[in-house]
Amino acid sequence: MGREEGDPRPEREACVKRRRITVNDRMQRGYTYQLTEPAGRNFDDGFEPELTPRELLELGVFGGKYMTDCRAEFPASWFRRAKLSPERHDPSLNYFGVNASQPLSVWRKNGWIYRDDPRGWFQWYCRYYMGRRSLDDERQIRRWRQMTRHIAQIKQGCEPLDLDCRKRQRQALLHWAYDSRKI
If one compares 66 and 152, the residue with the highest pLDDT of the two is: 152
Q: 37-48, pLDDT tens digit by residue? A: 999 999 999 999
Please tell me the pTM assigned to this model: 0.88
Q: What is the pLDDT of residue 16?
A: 57
Is it the case that residue 159 has pLDDT exceeding 60?
yes
> pLDDT exceeding 70 applies to what percent of the chain?
91
Q: What is the pLDDT of residue 94?
A: 97
Q: 61-73, pLDDT tens digit by residue? A: 999 988 889 999 9
pLDDT bucket at 82, cuts 50 / 70 / 90: very high
What are the two backbone dihedrals, phi and then psi, of residue 98, each rounded to the nearest 5 degrees? -125, 160
Q: 101-112, pLDDT tens digit by residue? A: 888 889 889 888
Q: What is the pLDDT of residue 104?
A: 83
**Burial per residue of 87-113, b for 16 or more beta-carbon CB atoms within 10 angstroms, e otherwise:** eeebbebbbbebebbeeeeebeeeeeb
Choice among 13-17, 95-99, 101-105, 174-178 with the minimum mean pLDDT: 13-17
Top mean-pLDDT range of 1-10, 97-106, 147-156: 147-156
Is it the case that residue 83 has pLDDT exceeding 90?
yes
> pLDDT exceeding 90 applies to what percent of the chain?
79
What are the two backbone dihedrals, phi and then psi, of residue 119, each rounded to the nearest 5 degrees? -95, -10
